[in-house]
Amino acid sequence: MEKTYTLSDTLNREQKEAVLHTEGPLLILAGAGTGKTRVLTNRIAWLIEQGVSPRHILAITFTNKAADEMRERVGRLVGAGSDQIWVSTFHSSCARILRRYADRIGYQNNFSIYDTDDSKSVIKEIIKKWNLDTKVYKDRTFLAKISSFKNHLVDTEDCMELAGSDVDEIMTARVYKEYEAQLKKSNAMDFDDLLLNTVRLFQTDAQVLEQYQERFRYIHIDEYQDTNKVQFVFVRLLAAKYHNLCVVGDDDQSIYRFRGADISNILDFEKYFPEAKTIRLEQNYRSTSNILDAANAVIANNRARKKKHLWTDQGTGEKIACYSAQTAYDEAEHIIEDIRKKMRTEGRKYSDFAILYRTNAQSRIFEEKCIGANIPYQLIGGVNFYARKEIKDMLAYLKTINNGMDDIAARRIINVPKRGIGQASIDKIAQHAFENDITFFDAAVRADQIVGLQRAAARIASFTEPFFKWRSCLDYLKLSEIFDDILETTGYRAELEAEQTEEAAERLQNLEELRNKIVSYEESAETPTLNGFLQEVALVAEIDSLESHSDYVVLMTLHGAKGLEFPVVYISGMEEGVFPGMLAIYSGDEGEIEEERRLCYVGITRAREELMLSWSRLRMVRGEQMYQKTSRFLEEIPKELFQPGAFEHQEKKRISFEDNSYTDAKASFASNAFAGMKKASAFTKAPLDYTTGDRVSHMKFGPGTVTAIQDGGRDYEVTVDFDRFGVKHMFAGFAKLKKQE
């Protein structure tokens, strides 16, 4: 017997209204934990029950997992026919369309789809063919910029025009054009092309567009706040005929700006669809009212948002706990001890707890404390701190200084960063070491005596020679100073800085955290030695032997926590410069701060029953203990929502922005991000090659005009009116503005 759908009595009033409103544009503002997936699936089922053919329904999500879950839930509701609903991701939908009609835009329908590695290979070939300096021009940097251009519908001709007279931007435009030519020649598209080329197909072929407009008369888009420009245009074109477009999202949870997400898509929905109906889902089924009130209080400070107020009928719940630690180590110890206490007194499981933080680098201390306390944990969305590539690379350098017999370490770094030492040369060194019963490093020292390596001998010597200097320095230099020199001499740091990508910035943060670990060891060890440090790290880093548990404490970034929920949540590092981060504070862009505030909102609403916010009065920054000001987000929460006496253990004197240590840290960061991890007091500002009225270019905001320059003592504060992004205030040392001739 064919299954029929009956509207559920468990839907609340707003949910039912969203399900029943089937004609015309609909914006469902679904706050955290308000049951948006339930609404979407019930709405699709209701459409089918009202006689709409499943073939005319499209539902787009952002992950294959979410698409599978939606398809399964709709199937349970309506039974037969649900398999005809087109439920998929943006990329899968576009690939399916292009498989039929790619020939109409100059491709063959059997085109290849290039993944990131394939795309990097194409870029690398271009760099090699044009003899570009790989220390200046990075494949990752080119690829990131090209992806951004495609997501903003900027083609190669527009890119060249936008480059103006900027030499680096002109080179990017040239590489972009050549990259596109190579893909076209290979009948290939990258992931960004799947969306971009589908939009081009729709814009140039009215027949194809009308076919899909007829096919998809009812369109549903989940997580609409995370869409970018090209996705917005794709959706708008599809919905242009029938206007039966239902988008579901929460502008307060838009946290992927760095990936190209454009919050204006959801904020301006009514602008593009004036007849749209807006329904707010505000009843939360996840958290207690104390937690929701805190989240509401924080997010209310954002200006770029659609007002909504989460509420629940699940009770007031526990007041929010907070903890002011003296140091980051104290903070981590307190959280771990609190977990152990709740395990004893509340009968909790390890899986009830999640420790959230702003950056992956912050995980290191929590990992160490969990291991020391024998607490099973799982690092979600990241790699164990000591297993990250950049950390293993630097430890390999330190191991080779300490022990030249460690062949694994020496082989790992002989061409890291790249020195032009190929695998054939490495194999010859290894063979010579084997035949002469010597270490790989000693064989590398003799490279000029090995047959077939004479031409590569100088490059190999550039690897081996610094080790003799570093070993001789062990008696009179600190380990942290040797670490700094490794980064400087090898060019490892400079290579990452030149990439100018999110990934490179995070790797630099991780290297800074490793230096913090070295400094902490130097301060705590009675007689600090390189051997002692490596032994301590080895004991902490050896977590592979931990028994596998399904019951474990979760460690993850706030970005990674989106969509998840836990009974007990700890948000650590609630300090200015950590959360919100320095990049946001000194970007001169209020949108960056609002994005950080949305991230705080996401973190708070992950908690179901208990929430603790913690911060450190002192945090090690580039090897120095710096006074920290409590996060503005913490101060935006009404004090009555916190446990009694929550702030009494803090010192009466509040750390201000004028505190010398904080000011030095601010100036050091503003002068040059990750600049050699030097002491803040060593900072000296560089003279400017531009003045008021000059045209300049910024790597993110593009061209603009300098309207004001103020001497701030340690750096210049520059005001620029950018052509596309308006007025921004920024520190000159951080902004790295380039004068346009």
What's the rounded Cα separation, in Å, for the pair 331 and 570?
Answer: 11
User: Which of these, 497, 517, 499, 491, lies nearest to 674 by C-alpha position?
Assistant: 497
Catalytic residue among 138, 606, 617, 666: 606
Q: What contacts 17, CB < 8 A, 6 or more positions away?
A: 279
User: Which of these, 527, 530, 392, 512, lies nearest to 467 by C-alpha position?
Assistant: 530
Provide the 8-state DSSP code for 318. Answer: P
Contact criterion met (CB below 8 Å) for 299 and 29: no
Residue 482: its H or E element:
helix 479-490
Catalytic residue list contains 562? no
Cα-flanking dihedrals φ and ψ of residue 642, to 5°? -90, 160
Catalytic residue list contains 223? yes
Contact criterion met (CB below 8 Å) for 605 and 250: no
Catalytic residue among 22, 37, 314, 705: 37
Name the burial class of residue 479, with classes exposed (0-12), middle (13-18) and buried (19+) by CB atoms within 10 angstroms of its CB. buried
Catalytic residue list contains 115? no
What's the rounded Cα separation, in Å, for the pair 66 and 72?
Answer: 10
Catalytic residue among 14, 223, 506, 575: 223
Catalytic residue among 166, 222, 262, 367: 222
Catalytic residue among 16, 34, 36, 359: 36
Q: Checking phi first, is residue 260 left (phi over 0); if not, alpha (psi -120 to 50) or beta?
A: left
Burial 158-183 (b: 16+ CB within 10 A, else e): ebbebbeebebbebbbbbbbbbbebb
| Inter-helix orientation angle 289-299/590-604, to 10° | 180
Contact criterion met (CB below 8 Å) for 111 and 188: yes
Contact criterion met (CB below 8 Å) for 97 and 212: yes
Contact criterion met (CB below 8 Å) for 248 and 226: no
Catalytic residue among 61, 227, 231, 253: 253
What's the rounded Cα separation, in Å, for the pair 64 and 175?
Answer: 32
Give Rg (Cα) of the chain. Answer: 28
What's the rounded Cα separation, in Å, for the pair 153 and 432?
Answer: 54
Task: Tell me, rounded to whole angstroms, the distance of Cα 420 from its chain centroid.
Answer: 31
Catalytic residue list contains 711? no
Q: Do the strands 218-221 and 245-249 form a parallel or antiparallel pair, or are they unpaired?
A: parallel
Enumerate the β-bridge partners of residue 245: 219
- The three-state (H, E, C) secondary structure of 625-689, written as one string: EEECCECHHHHCCCHHHECCCCCCCCCCCCCCCCCHHHHHHHHHHHHCCCCCCCCHHHCCCCCCC
Catalytic residue list contains 129? no
Catalytic residue list contains 204? no
Measured CA distances, 658 to 619, 631, 654, 728 (Å): 17, 16, 11, 23
**Is residue 704 classed as helix, strand or coil in its secondary structure?**
strand
- Pull the structure tokens for residue 22: 């089937």
| Inter-helix orientation angle 502-524/530-541, to 10° | 120
Report, as residue numbers or ranges, the catalytic residues.
Answer: 36-37, 222-223, 253, 606
